[in-house]
Amino acid sequence: MAGVNKVILLGNLGSDPEVRVLPSGTKVANFSIATSETYTNKEGVRVEQTEWHRVEMWDNLANIAEQYLRKGNPVYVEGRIRTEEYVDKDNITRKTMKIRGTALTLVGGKNDNSNNESGSVAPQQAAPAPRPNPVTPPTPAFDAGDSGDDLPF
């Protein structure tokens, strides 16, 4: 049986991306995104609930994250949930979840980072190449002379 593992996040960066280069030369960027929702509870008090998500991006997306993302920036990320196990300092096996980012869209228009030496504006869409639109079969022409007797309803 096949399944779907898709995450869509729209939030603000909680920290600048931490970028490291693996011995193979591959780049990986790690950062956190905060998403918030506001609601009114039973007592009529307005409550804001914030969730923190750990995100990792690889290769070209890591380059883009390193160059354009800064703490507080709004960002849209698509990806997959990944669960990883590790052994802590007390030799206890623990699990952690993170989002493996597969698409990144910078939100909010002009990027006013002082670290951007070129003064260029961040691209609005930094994602894998778009898939071609599926071909839809042509719709049969309507015959006005048809009485519609053979309709199934």
- Three-class SS string for 98-118? EEEEEEEEECCCCCCCCCCCC
- Say whether 39 sits in a helix, a strand or coil: strand
pLDDT at 91 (0 to 100): 92
List CB contacts of 83: < 8 A, sequence separation 6 or more: 95, 96, 97
pLDDT at 114 (0 to 100): 43
pLDDT at 146 (0 to 100): 54
| Beta carbons of 7 and 99 less than 8 angstroms apart | yes
pLDDT at 5 (0 to 100): 94
CA 92, chain centre distance (Å): 31
| Beta carbons of 30 and 56 less than 8 angstroms apart | yes
CB burial of 27-36 (b: ≥16 within 10 Å; e: otherwise) equals bbbbbbbeee
| Beta carbons of 86 and 96 less than 8 angstroms apart | yes
Kindly give the confidence (pLDDT) of every residue in the chain, 153 residues in length, as a single tens digit, with 9 standing for 90 and above. Answer: 789 999 999 999 999 999 999 999 999 999 999 999 999 999 999 999 999 999 999 999 999 999 999 999 999 999 999 999 989 999 999 999 999 999 999 887 665 554 443 333 333 344 444 455 555 555 555 455 555 556 555
Burial class (CB in 10 A: 0-12, 13-18, 19+), 102: middle
Q: What are the structural domains of the chain?
A: 7-106 (2.40.50.140)
Burial class (CB in 10 A: 0-12, 13-18, 19+), 101: buried
| Beta carbons of 77 and 58 less than 8 angstroms apart | no
